[in-house]
Amino acid sequence: MSVDLNKLIIEEALKGLSNGDFSSVDLVKSSLNIISEKEGDIHAYLEVFDDAIEQAKKADEERKNGGKGMLLGIPLAVKDNILIEGRRVTAASKILEGYVAPYDATVIKQLKKEGAIFIGRTNMDEFAMGGSTENSAFGVTKNPHDLSRVAGGSSGGSAAAVAMGSVLGALGSDTGGSIRQPASLCGVVGLKTTYGSVSRFGLMAMGSSLDQIGPFAKTVGDAEILFKAISGHDEMDSTSLPDDFYKTESKKDKLVIGVPRNFIFTEGIDKEVLSNFEKSLNLLEKSGAEIKDIDLPSLKHSLAVYYILMPAEASTNLARFDGVRFGLSEDGGDVLGSYMKTRGDGFGREVRRRIMLGAYVLSSGYYDAYYNKANGVRALINDDFKKAFSSVDIIATPTSPVPAFKIGEKSEDPLSMYLADIFTVPVNLAGVPAISIPSGFTEEKLPLGIQFIAGHDREGILFELGKKFESIRE
C-alpha cells in the first residue's frame, strides 16, 4: 500500500507499524517513489541504496518475531561523511571517489541496533566545508521550496531529503552550523548536540574540537527520538562523555529565555528574519515564558575565531588524504609531485582555500599570533555562555541571518558565505547544544527558523521548549 510520507512523522510511523496499518516495505517503497519523482530536480542524494527494500523486509520479519528497536523499520538518510560498512563514502570529494567504508561509524551501529533502514547517502559541501552544498564535487543540492535556491550546508542533502518527504529523518554533521542552517533554510528541525554526547567515531573529521553528528527531522519529538538512539558513551571516541553526564531535570513552570539583542540586531540581518524572530518571541512570551535581554560581549569575535581554529584543525585532519593510503592517486613523477597532483586534482577550491589558511595560522611565527590568540578568545566566549546560563534557561536567536539565497549568489564571495554562520558558530565554539525549529515563512514562501541554545547536557530543555513552540505556532 502507498503511504504519504509527507504527512507522516516517526512517532506516527512507529504506531502504524505496530498496529499493522502498513509495513516497513510500504514505507520504503513510498520513499523510493518520492525519490524517483523529485530527486532529479533536487539532487539530495549521492546514492540511493539498492538493498533498501531488502532491509525493510528484514525489519518486518524482525517485528513479527517481537523486535522492539526504537526505530525498527524507519527509513533514514545519512550524510556522505559518516561511514557505513561496505558502502561508498566520499565526503562529496573526488579525492575519495569510489572509496568503500571498512567499518560502521558508532552512530550507524546504534541505528542498526535500533532497526533503522538506510535509504541512501546524501550530498554535502566537500568535506563539510561550505554553507550551501554548492561545494560538492558532484553538483549542488537545490532547495525543495524553491529550486533556484540553495538548501544550505554543509548538510544540505540531508535537510533536503527530509524536506522533500523522501525519509522520516536523516543524519548530518555540524561544525559551525552545518545542521541548523540547512534545517532553517529547508523548513525542518535540526539538532546540534552537546560536544561529546554523540560519538564521532566513523565521522570524517573536519574540525575535531567542533564537529558533532546530529539529526534532521520534521518535528522536535522526532529529533528527540533520533537523539536518544545515537547518543551515549563510546570507548572508541576519546572525547565521548560518560553515560552519567546527563542528569534528569524536572520541567520548569516558567522558562527564562535570554535574547542577545546587541548581537542580533546589527547590519546585514534580513528584515523579514528579524520581524519573524520578534513575532516568535512574542508568541513565547504570551505562552508564559519570560523574555530577558542579555549581553554576550565576546560573541562578536566568534566568526574570526572560528575561521582560524576550524581551518587549522581541517588542514591537519585532511593531511591524511595524500593519494598513498586510500582514494585518488595521481602519478606526479616523484613522491612530492604525486602528493601535489593528487591533492590539486582531488580537492575542490574551497577545501584548498581552507587547508592553505589553516597551514598558515599554524606555521612558525604565526601560531601564537593567530591560533593561540583565537583559543584565548574561545575561552572568553565559553565564559559568556556560562554567565548567561546562570540567569536564563535558554538563549534564542534567528538560526540564519538570511533566508535561502539564490544558487551562485554567494559562491564568488567566500566572506559573504562565511557571514551566514554568524548565529550558529558560537554554539560550536562553546560545545553547547542548540536546535533550529521552523518559525514561519518570508513573503516569497521561503522557510525561516529560530534557534534555541541551552547549556551543556541540557538537550532535554531544548526538546521541552521546542515542542511548546511547535504547539503555539500551529
At 130-147, the pLDDT tens digits run 999 999 999 999 999 999
Instruction: Report whether the peptide linkage leading into residue 173 is cis, meaning its omega lies within 30 degrees of zero.
Output: no
Digit-coded pLDDT (tens) for 100-133: 999 999 999 999 999 999 999 999 999 999 999 9
Q: Residue 412 — very low, low, confident or very high, per pLDDT cuts 50/70/90? A: confident
Q: Residue 331 — very low, low, confident or very high, per pLDDT cuts 50/70/90? A: confident
* Residues annotated as part of the active site: 79, 154, 178
pLDDT of residue 1 exceeding 80, the answer is no
**Exposed (0-12), middle (13-18) or buried (19+): which is 170, by Cβ within 10 Å?**
buried
Range with the poorest average pLDDT among 198-202, 277-281, 345-349: 345-349
Contact 400, 449 (CB under 8 A): yes
pLDDT of residue 245 exceeding 80, the answer is no
Kindly give, in sequence order, each residue whose CB lies less than 8 Å from that of residue 410, ignoring residues fewer than 6 positions away: 132, 416, 417, 420
Confidence (pLDDT) at 250: 62
Confidence (pLDDT) at 243: 84
Digit-coded pLDDT (tens) for 189-212: 999 999 999 999 999 999 999 999
Confidence (pLDDT) at 417: 87
pLDDT of residue 46 exceeding 80, the answer is yes
Instruction: Give the integer Cα–Cα distance in Å for 78 and 43.
Output: 14
Contact 203, 317 (CB under 8 A): no
pLDDT of residue 438 exceeding 80, the answer is yes
Phi and psi, residue 351, nearest 5°: -65, -45
Instruction: Give the integer Cα–Cα distance in Å for 255 and 284.
Output: 10
Instruction: Give the integer Cα–Cα distance in Å for 191 and 216.
Output: 7
The average confidence (pLDDT) of the chain is 95
Q: Residue 249 — very low, low, confident or very high, per pLDDT cuts 50/70/90? A: low
Of the two residues 145 and 243, the one the predictor is more confident about is 145
pLDDT of residue 327 exceeding 90, the answer is no
Q: Going along 100-255, which residue ranges are E strands?
A: 117-122, 142-143, 146-150, 169-174, 189-192, 212-217
Bridge partners of 449, per DSSP, are: 438
Amino acid at 92: A
Q: Which CATH number fits domain 1-474: 3.40.50.300, 2.60.120.620, 3.90.1300.10, 3.30.930.10?
A: 3.90.1300.10
> Strand 212-217 vs strand 290-293: parallel, antiparallel, or unpaired?
unpaired
Instruction: Give the integer Cα–Cα distance in Å for 375 and 356.
Output: 19
| Count of all residues that appear for the chain in the document | 474
Instruction: Give the integer Cα–Cα distance in Å for 297 and 186.
Output: 31
Digit-coded pLDDT (tens) for 71-83: 999 999 999 999 9
* Complete DSSP assignment for 288-357: TPEEEE---GGGGGHHHHHHHHHHHHHHHHGGG-SSSSSS-----SSHHHHHHHHHHHHS-HHHHHHHHH
Range with the poorest average pLDDT among 131-145, 182-196, 252-266, 298-312: 252-266
Bridge partners of 88, per DSSP, are: 100
CA 132, 138, 141: angle at the middle one, nearest 5?
Answer: 35
Bridge partners of 185, per DSSP, are: none
Bridge partners of 173, per DSSP, are: 213
Can you give the pTM of this predicted structure?
0.96
